[in-house]
Each structure stands twice: as structure tokens, then as C-alpha cells.
């Protein structure tokens, strides 16, 4: 029998919910482009319930224990003495989420000789040292597309919040004020602006589609150029590089995976090429941006605003400068873990486990590493290497 270690974020401070704001979530039959939603044999949870925290357990306990497996669920993930580190040494499967990542560094992989499968409940497997996984013959899989639309909606919300100066305006109201001049002194219309995305995969393309009705000029860069029909449909302008893109954009949104080619991409040099007063939105990965370069750009006015829900490491330490920098619209990493998204990535995690335990092939789009090489989505989106360095500095709260 197998041992599965599942690392999830902590329960709400008020306790696991006894009721919810809505009675359920809409059923989604498929994704744009024709990919079907996760299709496990069955599920043991209620869609719309909180599944991504410790008590939610991704709805997996009944299924796994019914097969005789051992399931360990914890939020204690950081440091040599953490529950995750202790339980990892004889684990066969590790499940983690991008929002509260269990960083699988090369050292941790070396400490887990039984480890055969690392599952990302969601999308984005950069918290795994992919090169070390390749070398160790570990399969890495994620629930591709499960929360892509969730993230794209969050991106549009953040763009509008920055450009329209929503958060400071809301703060004036909660403080009892009616400070219209203070609110609108940094408020603009998005209409007519030039918006560009760094990467136009599932999330980036969904962002472009959602922005089209705002009558903006849309630009993109990606190592895989979109079909001409899509460019014509959306009126897209393609750029060979991020450097070319940022020079013409009023708003830049980052929707690329983190790997050695994108790590630290938005540094002082690249940000200096952006229009003065541009906005930068990052719901991809915090490590794609140089932490201190972003702060400097906001303080100097080179950037008019920065919003995102991704940090490095995660959870971000209390003294992380993005918590207090000016003109920010930061949230914890929540864009892809709405209750709607959780129902899909929990079902997808169950589907991946069913394939693993029944020795059936996993969907190609779920695979990141398989058979000692990048595979499936991993071969399309990543480059070999390690983006986990520095994660040893994480803290638990």
C-alpha cells in the first residue's frame, strides 16, 4: 500500500465552514479549445465546498483509505522539523498546491527514495525541482486548465483595480471619507490603452479574450506564436520578445510559467524599458519579477502600480517589502483557488491518482515530467532546471 502526503493551506481562522454563501457552483462541461474537465470515476466531495484547506483534504480520504492507502494531510511544510519533511522520507506520492507550495528541492527529493509521483493540485509545478525529478525518475503531474479561467478573471479584476485606483478609493470610504479628488487623482480609463501579455497560453489567451470588449489595443509575446486566425479575431500584435512588448504597453500582465528562462525576467533593466507610469500585473509566479526592482520602480514612479497574488517564497514573510510598497494591489495567492476552481482541481487530482494506482496512462496535458524527461504540457511550457532555490527561507505562520 502507498503513503500519500498532501500539503494544503490552513483552515479559516474561524474554523472550517458549516455553510457557504452560495448553494453550489455552475457545472462546467469543458474548457475552451475542446479539453474536457477532469473525469474521475467518482468524487467524494460537494462542489462549492472548501476543499483546498487541511480539513477539506481535496475530498480524497474516503477514496484513498478505501483502497488501503495511508493519507497524511498537513499545512506544516517548511523547515527540517516540519510535518512534511518528517513524512516525506517514506512517501510514495506528494500532493501540493501552488498557493501553499511544498517545495520539493533536490535535497528533499534525495531524502525520499520511495517517491514516485508529485501532483500539483492546480497548475504550475515550479515548486518541484524539475531537473531533480527528471534525474530521479519521478513523475510530475498537474491539473492543467483546471483554474486557468479563474486566474484570467483575477487578472482582469486587478488591471481594473489598478487603473481605476479602486483600492485607495475604497479605503477612503471605510475611513468615513468622501475624498473624490484624492481618489481620482490616480484614476484613468482602461479604454484606449495598450495591454500586453507575456505568454499567451491558456491563461494569457483567456485574459486577451476577456479584455477585447474593453476597446483596448492588445499585444502579446510567447515562444509559441498563436494561429493567424486568433491574431486576426482579437486584433493582436505579436512581439518576438518581452523587451519589445513592454516598450509600447500601458499595462503588462505576466502569464508565463516559472522556469530558468523566466526567473528574474522583470528586473531593473526590463522595467526601465516600460513606459513611465505603466502598470504591471503578475498572477504567474513571484520569482519572475525581481522583488526589489519592483519596489524601486513604484517608489520612483516608473511603475504607476503593481498588482499580483504571487510571491516568493510562499507564504511571504511578514517583512516582505511588497506588503508595504506604494501603489500596490497585492493579495495572497488566491487567483486559482476559488471554490469553483477547487472542485475542478480536486477532481483532477483524483483522476491522476486513479490513473497512477490503476497503472493507466495519465492525460498528456497533465504530465510535466514522465519517464525521465519533460513530457506533455511540461515539454511545451518548461525548460529543464530548478526554480526552487531560495525556498529554504520560508516560514510557517
Residues known to be catalytic: 147, 285, 314, 333
Identify whether the C-beta of residue 109 lies closer than 8 Å to the C-beta of residue 130. no
- Rounded CA-CA distance 252/294 in Å is 13
* Tally of CB atoms within 10 A around 220: 26
Residues 6+ apart with CB under 8 A from 283: 151, 154, 155, 158, 203, 253, 254, 255, 308, 309, 310, 335
Nearest 10 degrees: CA dihedral of 5, 10, 16, 20? -100
**What are 282's strand-pairing partners?**
254, 308
- Rounded CA-CA distance 274/303 in Å is 8
Residue with cell 477532481: 347
- Rounded CA-CA distance 302/327 in Å is 12
Residue with cell 499595462: 251
- What CA–CA distances, in Å, run from 172 to 176, 189, 310, 389? 7, 20, 26, 40
Q: Is the peptide bond before 313 cis (omega within 30 degrees of 0)?
A: yes
* Tally of CB atoms within 10 A around 97: 27
Question: Inter-axis angle of helices 202-211 and 148-163, to 10 degrees?
Answer: 50
Amino acid at each position: 500500500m502507498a503513503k500519500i502526503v498532501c500539503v494544503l493551506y490552513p483552515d479559516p481562522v474561524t474554523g472550517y465552514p458549516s455553510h457557504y454563501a452560495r448553494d453550489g457552483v455552475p457545472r462546467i462541461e469543458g474548457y475552451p479549445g475542446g479539453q474536457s474537465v477532469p473525469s474521475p470515476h467518482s468524487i467524494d466531495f460537494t462542489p462549492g465546498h472548501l476543499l483546498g484547506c487541511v480539513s477539506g483534504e481535496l475530498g480524497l480520504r474516503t477514496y484513498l483509505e478505501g483502497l488501503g492507502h495511508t493519507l497524511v494531510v498537513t499545512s506544516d511544510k517548511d523547515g527540517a522539523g516540519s510535518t512534511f519533511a518528517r513524512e516525506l522520507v517514506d512517501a510514495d506520492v506528494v500532493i501540493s498546491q501552488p498557493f501553499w507550495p511544498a517545495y520539493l528541492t533536490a535535497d528533499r527529493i534525495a531524502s525520499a527514495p520511495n517517491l514516485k509521483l508529485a501532483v500539483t493540485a492546480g497548475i504550475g509545478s515550479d515548486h518541484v525541482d524539475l531537473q531533480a525529478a527528471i534525474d530521479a525518475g519521478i513523475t510530475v503531474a498537474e491539473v492543467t486548465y483546471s483554474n486557468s479561467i479563474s486566474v484570467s478573471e483575477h487578472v482582469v479584476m486587478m488591471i481594473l483595480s489598478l487603473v481605476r485606483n479602486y483600492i485607495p478609493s475604497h479605503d477612503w470610504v471605510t475611513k468615513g471619507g468622501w475624498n473624490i479628488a484624492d481618489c481620482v487623482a490616480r484614476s484613468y480609463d482602461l479604454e484606449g490603452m495598450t495591454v500586453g501579455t507575456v505568454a499567451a497560453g491558456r491563461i494569457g489567451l483567456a485574459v486577451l479574450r476577456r479584455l477585447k470588449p474593453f476597446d483596448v489595443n492588445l499585444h502579446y509575446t510567447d515562444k509559441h506564436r498563436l494561429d493567424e486566425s486568433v491574431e486576426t479575431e482579437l486584433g493582436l500584435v505579436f512581439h518576438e520578445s518581452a523587451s519589445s512588448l513592454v516598450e509600447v504597453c500601458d499595462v503588462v500582465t505576466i502569464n508565463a510559467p516559472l522556469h530558468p528562462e523566466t526567473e528574474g525576467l522583470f528586473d531593473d533593466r526590463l522595467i526601465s524599458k516600460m513606459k513611465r507610469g505603466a502598470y504591471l500585473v503578475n498572477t504567474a509566479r513571484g520569482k519572475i519579477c525581481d522583488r526589489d526592482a519592483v519596489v524601486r520602480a513604484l517608489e520612483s514612479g516608473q511603475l504607476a502600480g503593481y498588482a499580483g497574488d504571487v510571491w516568493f517564497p510562499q507564504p511571504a514573510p511578514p517583512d516582505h517589502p511588497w506588503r508595504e510598497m506604494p501603489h500596490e494591489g497585492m493579495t495572497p495567492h488566491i487567483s486559482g483557488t476559488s471554490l469553483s476552481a477547487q472542485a475542478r482541481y480536486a477532481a483532477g487530482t483524483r483522476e491522476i491518482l486513479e490513473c497512477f494506482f490503476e497503472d493507466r496512462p495519465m492525460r498528456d496535458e497533465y504530465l510535466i515530467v514522465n519517464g525521465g524527461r519533460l513530457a506533455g504540457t511540461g515539454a511545451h511550457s518548461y525548460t529543464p532546471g530548478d526554480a526552487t532555490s531560495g525556498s529554504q527561507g520560508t516560514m510557517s505562520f
